[in-house]
Amino acid sequence: GENVEQHPSTLSVQEGDSAVIKCTYSDSASNYFPWYKQELGKGPQLIIDIRSNVGEKKDQRIAVTLNKTAKHFSLHITETQPEDSAVYFCAASLSGGSNYKLTFGKGTLLTVNP
Amino acid sequence: GAGVSQTPSNKVTEKGKYVELRCDPISGHTALYWYRQSLGQGPEFLIYFQGTGAADDSGLPNDRFFAVRPEGSVSTLKIQRTERGDSAVYLCASSAFGVSNEQFFGPGTRLTVL
């Protein structure tokens, strides 16, 4: 089955700096890669996703890049703000089949210091 | 509109007891997923429903775990003879099958087995 590795496990940045979180996946058939933000006591919230037919996607301060050859994808947050502090999870799944179950990484605790 | 809701938000039980966890998906979403999240980990897939049927239950850890979705909407996750190792946050997610992979998560039920 799919295995997703995520690094780093913790990341501390100063407000206004950029943050980068990296993930690798094992199943070359995976073609859908979402990123979720989880705040304390809440469920994961989708912040951006990318499909394997594109290499990059951007939404305001958030961008995701995908390298299918290397089976590697990354989340980039620019101009970080204290409210960006949370746990971020990457995930992978196979789109177009009969089951879109997600395989998650172990998460990255991002702390943005004012 | 209303998101995914889960009840109860917290459940404390004793080892050996039976528990039921409820999930109300977003109206009209035909796909429903259960995940389990242990402390410091990413969510792990348990079971997936498409309509009323369990299309994939490969993530259920053993036969003490069972889930139903009799009318294709609300789902109940049932755990028999609970063990301390079952303590975790149980997350439910729903999606509009065939439209997008995007899964919308509920806030979770925190289960504590004493």
Given a cut of 80, whether residue B33 has pLDDT beyond it is yes
Q: Is A30 on the interface with B (CB under 8 A)?
A: no
- Give tens-digit pLDDT for A102-113: 999 999 999 999
Q: How many helices (H) and strands (E) does chain B have?
A: 0, 11
Question: pLDDT tens-digit profile of A30-69?
Answer: 999 999 999 998 999 999 999 888 889 999 999 999 999 9
**Which residues on chain B are in Cβ contact (under 8 Å) with A43?**
4, 91, 93, 105-108
pLDDT band at A98 (very low <50, low <70, confident <90, very high): low
Which residues lie across from B28 on neighbouring strands? none
Chain B residues in contact with A100 by the CB 8 A cut-off are: 31, 48, 95, 97, 101, 103
What is the distance between the alpha carbons of residues A50 and A65, in angstroms, rounded to a whole number?
8
Distance CA A17, CA B100 (A): 33
* Chain B touched by A99 (CB under 8 Å): yes
Cβ–Cβ gap B43/A106 under 8 Å: no
Report which of residues B50 and A19 the model is more confident about.
A19
Higher-pLDDT residue of B90, A2? B90
Question: In this structure, are residues B43 and B109 in contact, taking their beta carbons and an 8 Å threshold?
Answer: no
Q: How far is B71 from chain A (nearest CA, A)?
A: 20
B53 band by pLDDT with thresholds 50, 70 and 90:
confident
- The burial class, CB within 10 Å (0-12 / 13-18 / 19+), for B20 is middle
Q: Mutate which of B101, B103, B104, B110 to test chain A, going by most A C-beta atoms within 10 A? A: B101
Residue A97 sits at the vertex; the CA angle it makes with A38 and B103, to the nearest 5 degrees, is: 20
Look at B103 and A107 and tell me if their CB atoms are within 8 Å: no
pLDDT at A1: 85
Residue A94 pLDDT grade (very low, low, confident, very high; cuts 50, 70, 90): confident
Residue B5 touches chain A, beta carbons under 8 Å: no
Taking the CA of residue B109 and the nearest CA in chain A, the distance in Å comes to: 10
pLDDT at B71 over 80: yes
